[in-house]
């Protein structure tokens, strides 16, 4: 398998695992109950595209630095992502935003709904575990386009799933165990990255 294909598949798998139980998926569920699905998907897609470009560009800049600095930066990004996911995964109590979703759809226009969806997701993704994961993968693999493609495919796929069947999933799938698994995977990647400095 080529380096680019490996980077694409790795980015897709890891970002999908990080994003599925994430707060942005819950936010997409909530938005879909309030606004038309096409408008939500449009706003969410544009927000994720912007965030992916920023994350991969940041990761690409890191590749110009010395290997030791890149390893420390990548390890820190994976570690921070792991902490964020594990903290959410081990929280107690229900997400109040899911309860708010039951208030029903609001009659608004396509553009207004898409802009609202964009704003919510764009704000929620800054410093998010998936954004840190994308930056870390881009720096680690030196394949920014493949990472961007895999990551964007993953987040759009998860968002599409949330828009299409999310209201059913939220009653059947518990996000916290998924957050824990993704958090432990990122912690393992951080440990491997830091371990490579000792070799």
* Residue 111 lies inside a defined structural domain of this protein: no
176: closest CA among 98, 83, 101, 91? 91
> What integer pLDDT is reported at residue 107 of this predicted model?
61
pTM: 0.64
Q: How many domains does the chain have?
A: 1
> What integer pLDDT is reported at residue 150 of this predicted model?
92
* Residue 115 lies inside a defined structural domain of this protein: no
Q: How far is CA 135 from CA 51, 54, 123, 169, in A?
A: 10, 8, 17, 29
* Residue 109 lies inside a defined structural domain of this protein: no
Report whether 18 contacts 125 (CB < 8 A): no
* Residue 131 lies inside a defined structural domain of this protein: yes
* Residue 193 lies inside a defined structural domain of this protein: yes
179: closest CA among 83, 45, 80? 83
Report, as an integer, the average pLDDT of 177-188.
74
Within 8 A by CB and 6+ apart from 67, the residues are none
Q: Dump pLDDT digits (tens) for 3-56.
A: 889 989 988 998 888 887 676 777 787 677 677 888 889 999 999 999 888 888
- Helices marked H in 63-102: 67-89, 96-100
* Residue 89 lies inside a defined structural domain of this protein: yes
Segment among 5-14, 87-96, 142-151, 178-187 with least mean pLDDT: 87-96
Domain span at 58: 3-103+120-198
Angle in degrees, CA 43, 48, 53, rounded to 5: 135
Q: Dump pLDDT digits (tens) for 61-77.
A: 766 777 787 778 777 87
């Amino acid at each position: 398998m080529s380096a680019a294909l490996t980077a694409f598949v790795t980015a897709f798998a890891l970002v999908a695992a990080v994003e599925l139980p994430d707060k942005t998926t819950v936010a997409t569920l909530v938005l879909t109950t309030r606004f038309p699905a096409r408008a939500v998907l449009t706003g969410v897609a544009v927000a994720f595209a912007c965030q992916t470009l920023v994350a991969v560009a940041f990761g690409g800049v890191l590749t110009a630095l010395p290997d030791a600095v890149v390893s420390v930066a990548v390890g820190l990004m994976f570690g921070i992502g792991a902490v964020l996911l594990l903290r959410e995964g081990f929280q107690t109590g229900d997400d109040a935003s899911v309860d708010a979703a039951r208030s029903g759809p609001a009659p608004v226009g396509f553009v207004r709904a898409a802009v609202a969806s964009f704003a919510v997701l764009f704000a929620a993704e800054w410093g998010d575990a998936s954004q840190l994961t994308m930056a870390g993968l881009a720096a680690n693999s030196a394949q920014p386009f493949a990472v961007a493609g895999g990551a964007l495919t993953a987040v759009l796929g998860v968002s599409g799933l949330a828009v299409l069947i999310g209201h059913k999933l939220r009653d059947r799938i518990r996000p916290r165990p998924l957050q824990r698994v993704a958090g432990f995977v990122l912690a393992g990647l951080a440990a491997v990255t830091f371990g490579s400095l000792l070799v």
